Amino acid sequence: MDRKFFLFGSCLDGRYIDEQEVISLICYPNFKNCDIHNRLNQANLLGIELLCNFGNITITGNKYRNFHILGKGHSSIVLLGYVKNTGYKVIKIRRSDSKRPELINEGKILERLSKYGISPQVYGYSRDFLVMDYVGDINLGYIINNENKLNITNSFIESLESIKLLDYTNIIHNELNRPWKNIYFPNYPNYFPAIIIDFESHSEGCGNLNKFIGGIIGRLNIAKVSGNLVKLLAEYKNKNCDPLIFNKIKEELLSIINTSFIR
């Protein structure tokens, strides 16, 4: 590394973090299996200059002095950061205890999908870092818990449109059966576009719509699922996610929601 890795603590409060704190963050949650120099080098190559003390999640513990981050998953932590020539972006950092070996595959998937406007734009990635656009902090879970039926329906309509495109790309998001965690609305209170995140676990094929609807029906506790919907969903999968059947499924789902008690 030819220049001193320069990171300060916050985009908002200007708290500088010392080198120890930076290293603790990029090797979260511990130094075991974490090649610090290699990680600093990757961050440097990606142009990551600042890590910001910003977000709704706090990492507690002496090492972190209650550092705020955007999110924490099983395999990564997600922070706001500043990237040279690009600006404030989201930095996903692979956890040192992650079971997944790298973030490169997710970076490639995001590159493909962001062309369709259904996932965050990606600016760079390496084994342990991924730089992408911020999608805000309003996800489908928030909408289901806080909004009225009309807005919940609007959020579903936009989610369905993004999922239709996802099925078209032949990439299956393996966690879309819990869509409330993975679908975000960066322009809330507008629901367009619905952005899908976290392609850590994915496979080839189509059928995201089936996962999404299965998850939603369980979450909203809709008992009255029509036999017609079940039939259409099976047909959709059998016919390689035919967009014509998609439209029928969308209508059927919206009419079920319309006549159901929600919350």
Q: Which of 197, 216, 233, 256 binds ligand ADP (CB under 6 A)?
A: 197
Region of 7-15, 72-80, 157-165, 237-245 interacting with ligand ADP (CB under 6 A): 72-80
User: Dihedral, CA atoms, 42, 47, 53, 54, nearest 10 degrees?
Assistant: -110
User: What minimum distance in Å lies between the beta carbon of 1 and ligand ADP?
Assistant: 26
Two tokens, residue 73: 């998953």
141 is a contact residue toward ligand ADP (CB under 6 A): no
CA-based nearest residue to 195, from 88, 117, 110, 90? 117
Region of 43-51, 131-139, 156-164, 220-228 interacting with ligand ADP (CB under 6 A): 131-139
- Cβ-based burial of 121 (10 A; exposed 0-12, middle 13-18, buried ≥19): middle
User: What minimum distance in Å lies between the beta carbon of 149 and ligand ADP?
Assistant: 25
198 is a contact residue toward Mg ion (CB under 5 A): yes
> Which CB sits closer to ligand ADP, 72 or 248?
72
Residues with Cβ within 8 Å of 41's Cβ and at least 6 positions away in sequence, in order, are: 1
By rule CB under 6 A, what count of residues binds ligand ADP?
Answer: 17
Residue 194's binding partner out of Mg ion, ligand ADP, none, with CB under 5 to 8 Å set by partner kind: none
CA-based nearest residue to 91, from 123, 136, 138, 139? 123
User: Dihedral, CA atoms, 5, 10, 14, 15, nearest 10 degrees?
Assistant: -80
The contact set with ligand ADP (CB under 6 A) reads 70-76, 78, 90, 120, 132, 134-135, 181, 197-198, 200
